[in-house]
């Protein structure tokens, strides 16, 4: 079985009833479409009551895997802290730019586009190198804990300043 034939397995990491991140096993998502599928799972988890008790939370894609990680673990997506408040992640927080950042908004912080069950939302930002012809990529999702998707969008050509979530995430990376 070749590398790209392996499935991607995603496991939520929970500590003290809170979402601490996600474990990625098998291989990295190869494109924006597969990253969007990851974000869909993450938003569905964030829709569960109490998973993001501190409100909107920033997550960082981590390529370095701890030695104690399960076999075939290729990366982590770890909670870095809240988006707002006294303990908020601030520009300059990331000493070296991460491969990607995400923000998950629990139902209490999401203004849903459709009147359905409590809906969570999220944005995943994968920075590019525009001066080298590599565009920024992003995905946006709204979903409830039952799995109903009310909004799903992704783009391989993103101007980070056209959306509040991508603007914040790109600022956190650039600073």
> What is residue 51's predicted lDDT score, i.e. its pLDDT?
87
Q: What are the two backbone dihedrals, phi and then psi, of residue 23, each rounded to the nearest 5 degrees? A: -100, 130
pLDDT reported for residue 59? 95
Query: Residue 175 has what pLDDT?
Result: 64
Q: How far apart are CA 67 and CA 133, in angstroms?
A: 35
Q: What is the pLDDT of residue 125?
A: 93
Q: What is the pLDDT of residues 22-67, one digit of tens each?
A: 999 999 998 999 999 999 999 999 888 888 877 899 999 988 888 8
Domain edges within the chain: 3-174
Residues of the chain with pLDDT under 70: 1, 3-4, 116, 129-133, 175
| pTM reported for the whole predicted model | 0.89
Residue 101: what pLDDT?
92
Report yes or no: 90 and 173 within 8 Å, Cβ to Cβ. no
pLDDT at 133: 60
């Amino acid at each position: 079985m070749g590398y790209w034939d392996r499935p991607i397995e995603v496991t939520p990491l929970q500590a003290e009833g809170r979402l601490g991140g996600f474990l990625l096993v098998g291989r990295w998502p190869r494109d924006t479409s597969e990253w969007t599928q990851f974000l869909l799972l993450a938003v569905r988890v964030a829709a569960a009551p109490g998973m993001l008790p501190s409100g909107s939370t920033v997550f960082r894609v981590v390529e370095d895997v701890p030695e104690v990680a399960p076999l075939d673990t290729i990366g982590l997506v770890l909670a870095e802290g809240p988006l707002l408040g006294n303990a908020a992640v601030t520009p300059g927080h990331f000493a070296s730019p991460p491969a990607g950042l995400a923000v998950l908004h629990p139902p209490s912080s999401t203004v849903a586009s459709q009147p359905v069950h409590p809906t969570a939302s999220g944005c995943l930002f994968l920075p590019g190198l525009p001066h080298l012809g590599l565009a920024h990529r992003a995905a946006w999702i709204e979903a409830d804990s039952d799995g109903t998707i009310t909004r799903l969008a992704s783009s391989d050509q993103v101007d980070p300043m056209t959306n509040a979530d991508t603007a914040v995430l790109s600022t956190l990376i650039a600073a």
